[in-house]
Structure formats: structure tokens, C-alpha cells
Amino acid sequence: MSLDVRKYGYGWAVFEGGKPVTPELSQKHLAENRRDRIAIERQRRPRNCLRCEAEFVSTGPGHRMCNHCRAVAGGVDPQMVP
Ligand SMILES: [Zn+2]
């Protein structure tokens, strides 16, 4: 199911499967921000850390280590940490 931003009432809303999933928003960029946040939220799921195997909430495919291990791996550019 894809999320799109469309005109809705006097403003904008995020639609999924032809139905609005947000209230009417006054500006298109607000609806686009909502859409991006919904998409990120949906990628969140519990995973086991690659390093210590503790369960943590991953924000997506690029996030595979718990916060503790990411901090230990610090000093490295955070974008480079799996
Ligand atoms: Zn860990």
C-alpha cells in the first residue's frame, strides 16, 4: 500500500488506498512530513543487535545495532555504523 499526499477539503492529507489517514492539513509540506514520518514508523520493528544480540527497536534496514553498541562503535561516522 503506498502513501500519497493529495488535496483534501480545503487543505492536504496523506492518503492510503484512497482513504485519508491523517486529518486535513493546511499546507502540502505538512502532509509530506506526515507521510515521511508514517513511512519511517512502519519500518520500525524489534531486531536483535548484530554485536551483542540484545533486542532493540530498529528504525529500518540501516539500523542493526542497539544504541549501546552504536555508542561503543562511536568515533566512527554514525552513517557508517550498520
Ligand atoms: Zn548491542
As for how many domains the chain has, the answer is 2
> pTM for the full model?
0.64
Distance 60 CA to ligand 1 centre (A): 16
For residues 48 and 27, state if they share a domain.
Answer: no
- Residues near ion ligand 1 (CB < 5 Å) are 49, 51-52, 54, 66, 69
- Residue 82's pLDDT band, with cuts at 50, 70 and 90, is low
Distance 52 CA to ligand 1 centre (A): 4
Distance 80 CA to ligand 1 centre (A): 16
Instruction: Decide which of 73 and 26 is more confident.
Output: 26
For residues 52 and 34, state if they share a domain.
Answer: no
The domain in which residue 17 lies consists of: 3-42
For residues 48 and 17, state if they share a domain.
Answer: no
The single residue listed with the C-alpha cell 532493540 is 56
For residues 14 and 32, state if they share a domain.
Answer: yes
The mean pLDDT of 22-39, rounded to a whole number, is 96
Q: Which DSSP state fits 76? A: B
Q: pLDDT digit string (tens) for 34-50?
A: 999 999 888 899 999 99
For residues 31 and 56, state if they share a domain.
Answer: no
Q: pLDDT digit string (tens) for 43-78?
A: 899 999 999 999 999 988 889 999 999 988 866 565
Distance 48 CA to ligand 1 centre (A): 8
For residues 76 and 65, state if they share a domain.
Answer: yes
